[in-house]
Amino acid sequence: MLPDRAPVLRVVPMPADVNQHGDIFGGWIMAQVDIAGGVLAARYARGRVATVAVNSFTFKQPVLVGDVVSFFGDVVRVGRTSVTVSVEVFAQRNPMELVTVKVTEASLTYVAVGADRRPRELTVMATD
């Protein structure tokens, strides 16, 4: 079952995203996780952010072509210039008898940057 909140990102991987075994490349999933985490971090920072660390990344199940992949995230830590985000990834497959599986968990840290691309302090937080 999916979490009871809106996903940050929802994507359907295509055949061009598979490895030689027919599963979706781990790198494709990592890129999507970084996008989802970056959306949350930028929203919180109210501006540009840059990924500074992938703290953890666990692949739990393969992602298959045609899965509807949903990315859910939470801000879990805020520093002076940084935001750490937790991202959970779920795949929904087999539309005739829908199956939902958690496929990935990750933690990433982003730093807020100014127009000069140098770290800046977080001064205004999102109020969603």
**What digits encode the pLDDT tens for the residues 15-63?**
999 999 989 999 999 999 999 999 999 999 999 999 999 999 999 999 9
> Does residue 3 fall inside a structural domain?
no
Into how many domains does the chain fold?
Answer: 1
Q: Which residues contact 14 (CB under 8 A, 6 or more apart)?
A: 65
Confidence of residue 126 (pLDDT cuts 50, 70, 90): very low
For residues 116 and 96, give the distance between their C-alpha atoms in angstroms, rounded to a whole number.
Answer: 51
Range of the domain at 62: 9-112
Domain presence at residue 124? no
pTM across the whole model? 0.92
pLDDT digits (tens, 9 = 90+) for 74-100: 999 999 999 999 999 999 999 899 999
> Rounded to whole angstroms, how far apart are CA atoms 48 and 111?
9
DSSP-derived letter for residue 3 is -
* Distance (Å, whole) CA 124 – CA 57: 29
Q: What is the CATH number of the domain that holds 71?
A: 3.10.129.10
